[in-house]
Amino acid sequence: MTSDELQTLIEDATADFALGDAAVAVGKLNRATAAAPDSFEAWHALAEVNFSQRHLDAALAAGERALALRPNDLFINTTLSRIWMERGDKARAEHFGAQAKIHSWREQLKNPATDSGAIA
């Protein structure tokens, strides 16, 4: 599968999910992760769709695969925080929530926004 085909498959799955067909979306994302096991985007999308359907074990498994590919990603840390909170593990949820904040702050420091209201 080419990278363009993979991207199209992920986008199609996202559209299916948005239109209310989570089962079709999961099927497409499973194909995407099988064809490209190093695709962070496919694993993250699979985690989110499974989470929305309350398939928490599948969401966690997909989220952990995405995290292994991109441990410093703000969004996967946020996803994992939400999954752990839903599973009832507040300590793990707070851990991933804190990681998400750290990564967010790191990005802000690397790319500070121009404060248009600042007094010169």
Going by pLDDT thresholds of 50, 70 and 90, the confidence category of residue 119 is: very low
For the stretch 50-83, pLDDT in tens is: 999 999 999 999 999 999 999 989 899 999 999 9
Residues 6+ positions from 9 with CB-CB distance below 8 Å: 1, 28, 29, 31, 32, 35, 42
**Domains observed in the chain:** 3-110 (1.25.40.10)
For 71, the 3-state DSSP assignment is coil
- 10-58: per-residue pLDDT in tens? 999 999 999 999 999 999 999 999 999 999 999 999 999 999 999 999 9
